[in-house]
Amino acid sequence: MAQQVRQVEVTDPIATAQRYDYADAFELRLSEPDPHSPETWVRAGLDSTPKWVDRVAELLGMRSAPAESADRVGDFRVIDSGPDVVHLQTSLPLMRVVLVGRRVEPTRRMFTSVLHYRRPVLARLIWAVVGIGHRRAARQLITSKISAK
């Protein structure tokens, strides 16, 4: 499924509503309609991130949130969640991070990440390295499989 993921222009209305310092977006075309809400596949994707992503998140000041709940997905607060979109946000010492998962069509998922730097010089330096891993993790997240429980 990962070969069907492509990086695309950032056009999500939540992402483009405010000025941002960095943004990226990924699209996945599915062979059949996706019955899951964006929150479901984003939760599954964040739950399945590799351990190195967790370590980097710790270094950036994340991983301090309480256990999963209806109003949180990992370290992110759920700002909005519906059948076609999930809007998540977290605040870090160097930046505010916004994630948007969206069902654009029944067979098309979009995942957008937006950064608003608090300390631009330091944040840019760190993101120059961390961003490489982020883009790899984002490609894996958007292809997440939802396990039956």
pTM, full prediction: 0.87
86 in Cβ contact with 75 (< 8 Å): no
Burial class (CB in 10 A: 0-12, 13-18, 19+), 104: middle
Domains present along the chain, CATH in parentheses: 2-142 (3.30.530)
Measure the CA–CA gap between 54 and 127, rounded to whole angstroms: 16
- pLDDT digit of tens for each residue in the chain (149 aa)? 445 899 999 999 999 999 999 999 999 999 999 999 999 999 998 887 766 655 666 666 655 444 557 788 878 999 999 999 999 999 999 999 999 999 999 999 999 999 999 999 999 999 999 999 899 999 989 998 776 55
